[in-house]
Amino acid sequence: MEWLNNFEKIGHWELNDKFKSHKVLNHLNLRGINFVVDYEKARLENVVYVFKTENEILYIGETTKGIKERFSSYRYGFDKLIDTDNRIKVEITKILLENKPIEIYLLQPKAIVKFNNENIELPVSKSLEDYLITTYRPRLNKKENKSLK
């Protein structure tokens, strides 16, 4: 996991029953979860983020929104039963209930492209996310969501 040294640790997930799950998850009786992140980093956009516990990369994601907005959907889940946000919420909750810490890492990757004699800075978060998922295959990065049925 040496590649994770390129990322900055910005916070962690914790159990917090102040944050209730979306009603479509009521049948699971989940505890509430919350993210605790550096306030300034929470507003960054076009980032790749990583959830890590102990010696395992759990999940790699990307967002063009701010981290705070993106992570709120993991905190509460989503209004459709079969959804990545719900699956990740369930898994984060299970891991936290095992008293395992989940750390949050962040990178805002950019590429410099020379165009018309100018250096233009472009976000490349989606490309990096795709590469990292394909290369390292974190267990929570899945297309199917059968665990909630």
In the chain, the domains with their CATH numbers are: 2-144 (3.40.1440.40)
User: 70 phi and psi, to 5 degrees?
Assistant: -65, -45
Please spell the DSSP secondary structure of the chain, one letter per residue.
-GGGGGSEEEEEEEE-TTSPPPGGGGGG-PPPEEEEE-TTGGG--SEEEEEEETTEEEEEEEESS-HHHHHHHHHH--SSSS-HHHHHHHHHHHHHHTT--EEEEEE--EEEEEETTEEEEEE-HHHHHHHHHHHH--TT--S--GGG-
Give the pLDDT confidence score for residue 67 in this predicted structure: 92
What is the spatial distance between Cα 68 and Cα 47, in angstroms, rounded to a whole number? 12
Separation of CA 3 from chain center: 17
Q: CA torsion sign, 99 to 58 to 50 to 77?
A: negative
Q: Which residues of the chain register pLDDT less than 50?
A: 144-149
Question: pTM of this prediction?
Answer: 0.88
Give the pLDDT confidence score for residue 9 in this predicted structure: 97
pLDDT by residue (tens digit) across 91-126? 999 999 999 999 999 999 999 999 999 999 999 999
